[in-house]
């Protein structure tokens, strides 16, 4: 790791600070009452657990995990669970806060939560992963539930992980509770369209933003940082619209071809080899360098704090679409705004995942399921409406899209908090 780049731990530690800075900018514009400001810039609950897991060799390892609920004024808490070696409580708090604003900006009746376990799932066997998941689910069962806090997949977690959590919770309750998590396999109450929802929602707003900024999607050069649950299908959707995917990266490295990469071939290659590195007809490139490539659309779809004050002046994209959570720091936002780069903020751009999670939750509660066409149609309607509301707010307050999305979301959460009042 070069001396100029902060460590992943340092990046994670700055995440909640970033979230609070973004909040303060919007709160100032809204002239938010000091008491409300104190409530909304802090998390409601923070649970830290340390739990033992029996490994395949008979040894026992103790893991650390977190579940944070930021705000529940507008409904049950909602947010993903990530399994990653660099998970910190600070990072999880930031992600929980962003989830609150994300749910509010698209108008779904959830508050924000997030969770994680400090582990490297790639170094665990399937049975070890299952035991870890079930034990963690038991530890956080004191605050989760279909009407309290509904986890979902995130970095390094999958529909199968959600299935184990649903089963563990259901066994303790004594009956099946499919609505306790979303992002489950279809066989146990998952929703059609959930796997690709984040990418599909991002494309819905990219299409609207491209129209607004007069960027033709046919032939547009696209760079995607992170070829995972969001980045991979997003590449395919944009390719279908005629865009050229010129570079992608994953946790192992990055590849580049100025004439374009084939997303379906790339997906098959990664499934076979575990990485995009070495993909035929591509050149290797430094993963951080792909952010600087000349392109029309840049999609950060990896982790937090990737575009910072150190590299924002080198970004050459006309449009940035944040498929990841918190990839841009406040310092970078200022630089990008000054340079006229149009940015679709995370709480708008990647809200397709939580929107279809909401659809899944509703379907589970009603035991009545929709087909994929209906799911996608409802998603598109919500994403376009949210984009237009944020754009209108940006024009009204004469601010960038990030601040506009925050202003819109915070005003909705503040109104709910104010209306409910304080108990007792």
Active site residues: 114
CB atoms within 10 A of CB 244: 18
Angle between helices 15-30 and 401-420 (to 10 degrees): 80
Strand pairing category for 253-261 and 244-250: antiparallel
Q: Where are the beta strands (DSSP E) in 124-197?
A: 149-153
Based on its alpha-carbon atoms, the radius of gyration of the chain, rounded to whole angstroms, reads 20
- Widest CA span in the chain: 65
Token pair in block for residue 155 = 């970095």
Q: DSSP assignment, residue 307? A: B
Sheet of strand 60-71, all strands in order from the earlier edge strand to the far edge: 45-54, 60-71, 111-118, 77-84, 149-153
Bond preceding residue 424 cis, omega within 30 of 0? yes
Angle between helices 372-397 and 89-105 (to 10 degrees): 90
Please give the helix or strand (H or E) that residue 114 lies within, else none: strand 111-118
Answer for the pair 187, 210: CB distance below 8 angstroms, yes or no: no
* Of the candidates 406, 248, 228, 399, the residue with the CA atom closest to the CA atom of residue 326: 406
> What is the Cα–Cα distance from 365 to 363, expressed in whole angstroms?
6
Beta bridge partners of 398: none
- CA 25 from chain centre, in angstroms, equals 22
Place of tokens 């026992």: 60
Strand pairing category for 253-261 and 283-285: antiparallel
Q: 3-state class of 130 per DSSP?
A: helix
């Amino acid at each position: 790791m070069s001396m100029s780049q902060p460590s992943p731990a340092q990046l994670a530690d700055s995440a909640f600070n970033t979230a609070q800075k973004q909040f303060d900018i919007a709160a100032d514009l809204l002239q938010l009452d000091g008491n409300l400001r104190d409530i909304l810039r802090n998390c409601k609950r923070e649970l830290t657990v340390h739990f033992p897991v029996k490994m395949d060799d008979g040894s026992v390892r103790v893991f650390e995990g977190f579940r944070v609920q930021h705000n529940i004024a507008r409904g049950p808490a909602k947010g993903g669970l990530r399994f990653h070696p660099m998970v910190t409580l600070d990072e999880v708090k930031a992600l929980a806060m962003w989830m609150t604003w994300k749910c509010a900006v698209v108008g779904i009746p959830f508050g924000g939560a997030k969770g994680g376990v400090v582990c490297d799932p790639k170094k665990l066997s399937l049975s070890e992963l299952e035991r870890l998941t079930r034990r963690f689910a038991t530890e956080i069962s004191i605050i989760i539930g279909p009407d309290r806090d509904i986890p979902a997949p995130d970095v390094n977690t999958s529909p199968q992980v959600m299935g184990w959590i649903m089963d563990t919770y259901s066994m303790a309750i004594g009956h099946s509770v499919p609505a306790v998590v979303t992002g489950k396999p279809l066989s146990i109450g998952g929703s059609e369209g959930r796997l690709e929802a984040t990418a599909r929602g991002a494309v819905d707003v990219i299409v609207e933003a491209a129209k607004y900024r007069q960027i033709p999607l046919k032939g547009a050069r696209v760079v995607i940082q992170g070829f995972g649950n969001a980045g991979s299908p997003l590449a395919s959707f944009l390719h279908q619209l005629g865009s050229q995917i010129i570079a992608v990266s994953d946790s192992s490295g990055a590849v580049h071809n100025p004439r374009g990469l084939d997303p379906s071939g790339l997906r098959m290659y990664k499934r076979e080899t575990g990485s995009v590195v070495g993909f035929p007809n591509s050149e290797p490139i430094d993963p951080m360098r792909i952010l600087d490539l000349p392109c029309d659309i840049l999609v950060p779809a990896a982790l937090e704090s990737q575009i910072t004050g150190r590299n924002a002046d080198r970004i050459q994209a006309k449009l940035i679409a944040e498929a990841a959570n918190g990839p841009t720091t406040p310092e970078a936002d200022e630089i990008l705004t000054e340079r006229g780069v149009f940015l679709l903020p995370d709480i708008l751009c990647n809200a397709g995942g939580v929107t279809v999670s909401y659809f899944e939750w509703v379907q589970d509660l009603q035991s009545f399921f929709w087909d994929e066409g209906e799911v996608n149609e409802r998603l598109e309607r919500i994403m376009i409406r949210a984009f237009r509301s944020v754009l209108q707010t940006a024009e009204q307050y004469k601010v960038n899209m990030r601040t506009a999305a925050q202003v819109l979301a915070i005003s909705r959460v503040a109104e709910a908090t104010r209306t409910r009042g304080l108990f007792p």
